[in-house]
Structure 1
Amino acid sequence: MILNKNYKLLSLLMLGFFMACGKKEAPKQEVLRPVKYTEVKYAGADKIRHFSGTAKTEKIINLSFRNTGIIVMLDMKLGQKVKKGDLLAQLDNVQARLNYESSIESQNSAESQMNTAKLNLNRVRTLYEKGSSSLSDYEAAKNSYRTAVASFESSKRSVSIQADQIKFGYLYAPEDGAIASVVAEVDENVSPGQTIGVLNAGSAIEIEIGLPESVINNVYKGMKVKVSFTAIGNKQYNGEVTEVAPALDSNTSTYPIRVTILDDDERIKSGMAASVTFEFVTSQSEERKLVIPPVSVGEDGDNRFVFVIDGAEGNYVIKRQTIEIGELTAEGFEIDSGLEEGQKIATAGLQTLLDGQKVKLN
């Protein structure tokens, strides 16, 4: 009986041991310390203003015929690259050809009448010189010839005009560029000046924006700006103000200006939303200084330092960075070296932060 009880107890102990060995310890989740932070910026950040606009190529051309007719050929597709002089579309030109043939007939008739008038003038002149014709007959013959010559010259101009009308039935690319839109189809009847497509010409990209009267006097032609696009990540492009309107746009109550992007990037496309950054300074000689709040600066002997926060969401790491500071201003310490604009730095708990420590932003 005692052996049976001992055997059961031993079995239970062994079962518990094996169950304990079979359990895997759950991994401990790393607890990241929250850290308050700020971004390094230049003094006078209130002088930096951002305005929204839309990108477009420097030249947008509405393509249209200078004649009426039915489209019989259309070689235009969205995004198609074209060269200057490429044939893009053609009209049937039926009416233009009929008018041209009619003008040729009129010219031939006018030429025949001119030749007849010339022969008659020569005949009357001979008779007049012999005294067989009156002066009035001679003058009438000269007038008839002059009228016939004028009619012939007019008919020649008409032939030239009608020939141009035939040429106007062909649409050629006026510049190198890309087709931005097509709004017509083959067999469609179009009239002169009716847009059948849009060509984005030129290589430069421009931004059109409207500025309020509070800042327009600080903007000038040739002013350097920064441009960014929401569709192209965090990249910034150099830009320059190329046009400044002298008058207010009554529709928007702003002053239109135009900014040209100086950097080339095929990713920039017409129609993209853009943000243009202006830095308004009171003096051309004003030196820009980075500033940081005093609470972000630590001191260790003769050195001053900050904790820079590097990385991305979920993987931020603290790094100790030695800096050189300048004067203390109303906006904070001026930075002589050690930091760059846009860097994140801790602003609290410097005594307890460790170099290389993983944190999360608070």
Structure 2
Amino acid sequence: MSAYAQEQAMVYKITSPLTGVVKTVYVKAGQVVKKGDLLLEYDASLINSTLAAAQAKINMEAFNKSEAKKELGRAEELYDRTVLSEYDLQQAKLLYRKAVSQYASAKNELVYAQWDEAHRKLYATFSGTVTAVFSYPGQYVNNQFSAQSLLLIEAK
């Protein structure tokens, strides 16, 4: 009995979860790439704008949270001295909870923006040969509902 093994090449679709505009494609079909090679880069302008807006929002919401906490402290003090009604105290508590929630939401937006910034460059995660390039500079890639294939790479 003889043993026969045929090595089959695996071809992988390369995608990115980002939605944005392709700035540069660094590879072409037939090119050999090594793990860690830069394959593609998204334009940073929108990503940087989103990051700056998220940072500004978190700063504003931190200030609003701080002010709401101070107002709650004043309301509790006035309530304890029977100068403020139960209703007004509850309103101050509600405003503070809302400010805390908005701050948490702003923190999440910042995390998403930072993640986008960190992943705007697409690197090869394995060595292989680029078999097809579906991306070009200026292309808008919309991955909101499903990931769009950007490249095909045959693994070595």
TM-score, normalised to structure 1, is 0.37
> Paired residue for 1:197, among 130, 146, 151?
151
Greater RCO (Cα-Cα under 8 Å, separation 6 or more) = 2
Structure-1 separation of matches of 2:80 and 2:141: 61
1:71 is displaced (CA, Å) by: 2.7
1:104 to 2:46 alignment? no
Does 2:125 match 1:171? no
Partner of residue 82, structure 1 = 34
The residue that corresponds to 2:13 in the other structure is 62
How far residue 92 of structure 1 moved from its aligned partner, in angstroms, is: 0.8
Give the SS at the match of 2:130.
strand
Deviations 1:51-76 (A, max 9, x none): xxx9741x321123322333323222
Would the aligned equivalents of 1:82 and 1:173 in 2 still touch at CA under 8 Å? yes
Matches within 5 A, 1:270-309: none
Evaluate the alpha carbon distance shift between residue 70 and residue 144 of structure 1 in structure 2; reply closer, same or farther with a 3 A threshold.
closer
Contact 1:66 1:169 in 2 (8 A): no
Kindly indicate which of the two structures has a greater share of residues assigned to helix. 2
Pick one of 119, 142, 151 that aligns with 2:93.
Answer: 142
Q: Unaligned regions of 5+ residues in structure 2, if any? A: none
SS at match of 2:150: strand
2:33 maps to a residue whose letter is: K
What is the alpha-carbon distance in structure 2 between the residues aligned to residue 188 and residue 146 of structure 1? 43
Q: Deviations over 1:117-155 (max 9, x none)?
A: 000011111112222222222222111111100110011
Residues 109-148 of structure 1 aligned to structure 2 (within 5 Å): 109-148=60-99
Structure 1 residue 96 displacement after superposition: 2.2
1:308-329 CA deviation, whole Å, 9 max, x = no partner?
A: xxxxxxxxxxxxxxxxxxxxxx
Contact 1:82 1:179 in 2 (8 A): no
| Counterpart code for 2:25 | L
- Percent identity between the two aligned chains: 23
Gaps of 5+ in 1: 1-41, 43-53, 204-362
* 1:189 shift after superposition: 3.9
CA contact under 8 A between 1:121 and 1:145: conserved in structure 2? Answer: yes
Say what the alpha-carbon RMSD is for the aligned residues: 2.4
Please give the residue correspondences for 1:1-362 in structure 2 after superposition, counting only pairs within 5 Å. Answer: 56-57=8-9, 59-77=10-28, 78-83=30-35, 85-192=36-143, 193-201=147-155, 203=156
Aligned residues: 148
Deviations along 1:213-250, one digit per CA (max 9) or x if unpaired, are xxxxxxxxxxxxxxxxxxxxxxxxxxxxxxxxxxxxxx
CA gap of 1:127–1:174, structure 2 versus 1, over 3 A, is same
Counterparts of 1:68 and 1:132, CA distance in 2: 54
More strand by share: 1
Partners of 1:81 and 1:177 within 8 A in 2: yes
